[in-house]
């Protein structure tokens, strides 16, 4: 009976690790898209996709990344990482501050891009980021 519990527990740990790695790869893909949008904003490219969600995703990534790595570490070692509380405190603080600052930053970026003669393309949905272009032909 105890041997069956150990086997089930090991299978559960393996499933948790595989799931964490899968979610980590999806989150990393989202981070790549967020960094790409921020890079196009910094370089003032011809086409810029931007919204407050991009800022939130950029600054929430370290916290989500830490939680996923922590879950893998916990499943492998059955110990909580050293300085866990400090990491959560500071990464959570950064995420909360970024959440509240993302709205005024988004308004500023909108104002700045409009003053630089960028045009706004029509949105596909209300959730999609604003697409700013130098020429209206680039909207398609």
**Domain ranges across the chain:** 2-42+49-115
- On average, the pLDDT of the chain sits at 89
The 3-class SS string of the chain reads CHHHHHHHHHHHHHHHHHHHHHHHHHHHHHHHHHHHHHHHHHCCCCEEEECHHHHHHHHHHHHHHHHHHHHHHHHHHCCCCCCHHHHHHHHHHHHHHHHHHHHHHHHHHHHHHHHCCCEECCCCCCCCCEEEECCHHHHC
Model pLDDT for residues 111-129, shown as the tens digit of each residue: 999 999 999 998 888 888 8
pLDDT at 7: 61
Model pLDDT for residues 3-25, shown as the tens digit of each residue: 555 665 788 888 988 999 999 99
Model pLDDT for residues 44-88, shown as the tens digit of each residue: 999 999 998 999 999 999 999 999 999 989 888 888 888 999 999
Residue 50 backbone dihedrals phi, psi, to 5 degrees: -155, 140
pLDDT at 13: 85
pTM: 0.80
Query: Among residues of the chain, what percentage have pLDDT more than 70?
Result: 94
């Amino acid at each position: 009976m105890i041997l069956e519990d150990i086997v089930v527990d090991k299978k559960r740990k393996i499933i948790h690790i595989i799931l964490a790695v899968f979610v980590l790869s999806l989150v990393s893909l989202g981070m790549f898209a967020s960094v790409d949008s921020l890079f196009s904003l910094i370089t003032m490219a011809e086409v810029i996709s931007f919204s407050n969600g991009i800022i939130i995703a950029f600054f929430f990534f370290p916290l989500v990344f830490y939680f996923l790595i922590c879950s893998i570490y916990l499943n492998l070692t059955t110990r909580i990482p050293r300085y866990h509380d400090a990491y959560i405190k500071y990464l959570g603080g950064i995420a909360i501050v970024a959440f509240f600052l993302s709205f005024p930053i988004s308004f500023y970026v909108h104002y700045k891009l409009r003053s630089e003669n960028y045009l706004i393309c029509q949105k596909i949905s209300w959730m999609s980021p604003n697409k700013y272009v130098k020429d209206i032909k680039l909207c398609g």
